[in-house]
Each structure stands twice: as structure tokens, then as C-alpha cells.
Structure 1
């Protein structure tokens, strides 16, 4: 016989649809999360950026590790965001929270990311080989479609799905303990459902990110926490509600 209190039902990954202008609230919440403790956030970014730079400067193994480790690093940022959103202390060591909380799931998620990237790279390589064998006359006739031609529709679709899948999956694996594949599916579903809001968020964030990237990416020491805070706010709004 069941006893009280009943256990809460397991999270099933269902998301809700929000209005497009929710993106404005996510940005405001991202700034508020940064403003809770700017000094600690800057310390977190000063610890994160050298790790990213080292991986980028060590191809090809560094690039592979960067893709695989991205969910772990993003998870740490999101965990710190949750502390800030709950008015708890933001600690520098939360950057490595992903190692302490469901690291296997986050690493498996990174492995799936890597598989998607390799699939796109393989499609690009095959398309390049095929185009190399086209006669010059045909190549000139196809020159107007060169931006799509080397990519190919299948790889373009895989890239789009991978982009949608990466948005919420780390938070779902970290906070809700969803298996990686279910987290990816839930992220794609939620992203498609809320595409207007996510596109507006990307549009509003594109110029600040461009400016932050100009001085050797150092602007992300200040902008990175706001971006992470906006990501956390969008996850909380779409999957948990208020």
C-alpha cells in the first residue's frame, strides 16, 4: 500500500510555449544574475577563458576535447546561475560543478555533440569531393548555389538540429537528470516551440557578442555571465515556469 507523502512524478522533459518578447525578460534576468556578484563572475570567467583558449590552440585533439567538455563547462556556469537566481552565494568553484554532478551524463552529451559535428564534417568532405569532379562549365552554372552546395541539404539540416539540441540539453542533464538522448530531443522540441523568442534573443545578443569578441575575446569576461544567465532564465521559463 502506498504511503504518504507520494513521490513527485519524474520530470518528463515537457516544455511550454512562451511569447517572443520573453527574450527581453531573459536578458534582464541575465544581467541581474551577473549583478549579484560581479567580482566572482569575473573570477569564474578568468578561470574559464584560459581553458577554452588552450583547447582552441591545440588542434586537433584540443578541438575534440572542447566539444566533448562543453556540456561540463556550460553546466558549471548554469549551476552558478542557479545559485545567483536563488540569491545564494556565487562561488568560483561552481565552474567545475559539472564534474561533481552527473559528469557521466554531461560527458555522454558531449560525445553526442562530437558525433553530430563529425557527421557534418563528413558530409562536407564528401560534398567537396563530389564538387571537385564536376566539369568547369557545370561548376560555373552552380556558382550561384556554392554557399549551399558544399554543405548540402542533409548536413545543413543536421547542423540546424544540432544547434537546437545544444541549447537546453546541458541544463536538462544537469538539473533534471534526463538521459542525454532524451535531453537532446526535449531541447529540440522546446526550441522549435519557442523559435520566435530564441531568434529574438540571438538577434539582440549578436551585436554585444561581436563587440565582446573584438579585443581577443576579453569582452566575454563581462558578457559571458550575462549570456549564461540569459540561458538559465530561458531554461527556467520554458521548462519550469513560475
Structure 2
């Protein structure tokens, strides 16, 4: 794996946001049925874990980066012409596991701190609803909680946006590039800001596709959910291109040997 020393994110044109979506769809189409199965397994496993009283939801948050990495490893395998396999899901639990769990822990603490700040500025009712894990049966209750929260909503949106940007590429940077969790979050945040144009196009494209996917009884989400994963890998590999083998230093004594197949 490439070591992430002095890594700098690529700055891309706004139109690249749509290209990421197309690249993600191409990766999905290389193994569409298996992608659906893998996402279903992840959903069932994370939902079952979250259902455990008290410790379930925090534990699922801790493990989420490792699960995400497994899906990203599957994307890289397809990109390199290999087969997508169920075993890819467990890649994050085989290498860099401690760093990935640490990353999940940082994100979890960040969420609690943001919720705590929101409660301090008048959003206690809204936070209690959000942390309950179950939406209220009466939509009016949520509407009133949001209206009563006022400034707390603005603070929550701003800080959760920052946390999301910091976590966007952090699991991949930890796993593929060997970067420490905190540094990976900083680099992910910088990469997001440096590519705010393509990220905006990418986000708008996803929202439009989500609307279309929801029309025929939500069936379009069977495709859109995997494409969301594969296109995220396209974002990462576009902003942080994998190091080519030709760019690595030659082994000792190789300089004097002719390369097979060259003149």
C-alpha cells in the first residue's frame, strides 16, 4: 500500500462530479447482483448490531469505517480487473483495524459533542428525538422540535457538515495510504474543500437520481445504493490517484537489467 507521506489532493474541474457518478455506475455493472447482495449483508449486519440495547449503536459506529473499507477494497479489485468477492467485506478487519476503529471512535465522539452543543443552545428536544433512533409517529412533533431549536439547527448542520467532510475519504486514506486517523480526517477535509465544485455537482446529481429512483416503488434504490458506494470510490481514486508501479523506486540491481518485452 502506498504510504501517504506529503500527499496532496488533486484539484479537479466541476464536471468531474458527474464523471464520478458514471464511473461508479460502470463499477457497479461489472458485478450488479453481487453488489446488491453485499449491500444487503451490510445492511442486515449493521441493523442487527444497532438493535443491541445500549451498546449496539455506538459499536456499529465504531465498526462502520472498517465495513466501508471492505466495500472500497471490492471497488479497487474490480478497477484492477479482478473479481468482486464476499471476502472483500472483511478487509477492514484484517488490516489497519485498530486505526479504522479509532477513526470510528473519533467520529462518534464528534457526534456526541455536536449534540451536546446543540442541547446547550436550546435544541434539547430535537436532540432527544434524533438520539432515540426512532422518528416520532406524529410529523408535527418533529416540525415543532425543529422550529423550537432555532439556532441549534444551524449549529448542528454546520458542524455535522464539517464532520462529514472530514470522514468522506478518511477510511480509504487510512487503509490504502497508511495515514493516521486524525491526519486522514484533516486531509479528507482539505480534499473536500479543494474540490467543492465537483463535490457540489456530484451531490446534486445524486439528489436528482434519488428522486428518480424513488418513483417506481423505491426499486431504483437497488441500483442507486451500490452506485453511491462505487461512485464514492471513484471520488477518492480521482482526488487521490493510486501510485503507479512505474513510479515506485526500482529494486537494487534492476537498473542494469533489460525489461522483458522492451527493445
In the alignment, the residues of structure 2 paired with residue 163 and residue 10 of structure 1 have an alpha-carbon distance, to the nearest angstrom, of 21
* Corresponding residue for residue 29 of structure 2: 35
Equivalent position of 1:181 in the other structure: 182
- TM-score normalised by the chain length of structure 1: 0.81
Asked if the contact 1:127/1:152 (under 8 Å) is kept, the reply is no
Q: Is the 8 A contact 1:212 1:223 kept in 2?
A: yes
Question: In 2, distance between residues paired with 1:80 and 1:53?
Answer: 21
CA distance in 2, matches of 1:210, 1:90: 29
Aligned residue for 1:44, secondary structure, equals: helix
1:15 matched residue in structure 2: 9
How much has 1:212 moved relative to structure 2?
5.6
CA distance in 2, matches of 1:223, 1:33: 12
Q: Who is 1:4 aligned against?
A: none
1:205 maps to 2:199: no
SS at match of 1:90: coil
Equivalent position of 2:228 in the other structure: 227
Instruction: For residues 156-203 of structure 1, give each alpha carbon's deviation from its aligned partner in whole angstroms, at most 9, with x where no partner exists.
Output: 442221011111101101100100001000000000011111111111
Q: Deviations over 1:79-120 (max 9, x none)?
A: 100001111111012111100121111101001101110111
Match of 1:68 in 2: 62
Question: 1:128 is paired with a residue of what secondary structure?
Answer: coil
Displacement of 1:225 in angstroms is 2.1
**More deviation, 31-40/105-114:** 31-40
Matched, 1:194 2:188: no
Counterpart mapping for 1:17-166 below 5 A: 17-58=11-52, 60-128=54-122, 148-151=150-153, 153=155, 155-166=156-167
SS in structure 1 of the partner of residue 151 of structure 2:
coil
CA RMSD of aligned residues (A): 2.9
Tell me, in whole angstroms, the C-alpha distance in 2 between the residues paired with 1:9 and 1:102.
Answer: 13
TM-score (normalised: structure 2): 0.75
Q: Per the alignment, do residues 130 and 41 of structure 1 end up closer, same or farther by CA in structure 2, a change over 3 Å counting? A: closer
List alignment gaps of at least 5 residues for structure 2: 126-145, 245-263
Q: Which residue of 2 aligns with 1:140?
A: none
Shift of 1:233: 0.8
* Structure 1 residues 150 and 48: CA distance shift in structure 2, 3 A: same
Residue 213 and residue 147 in structure 1: after superposition, are their counterparts in 2 closer, same or farther (change >3 A)? farther
Paired residue secondary structure (2:228): helix
Distance 2:26 2:177 in 1: 24
Whether 1:171 aligns to 2:165 is no
Distance verdict in 2 for CA 1:66–1:220, change over 3 Å: farther
Where does structure 1 lack aligned partners over 5 or more consecutive residues?
1-7, 132-143
In structure 2, C-alpha distance between the alignment counterparts of 1:209 and 1:92, rounded to whole Å? 27
Shift of 1:129: 7.2
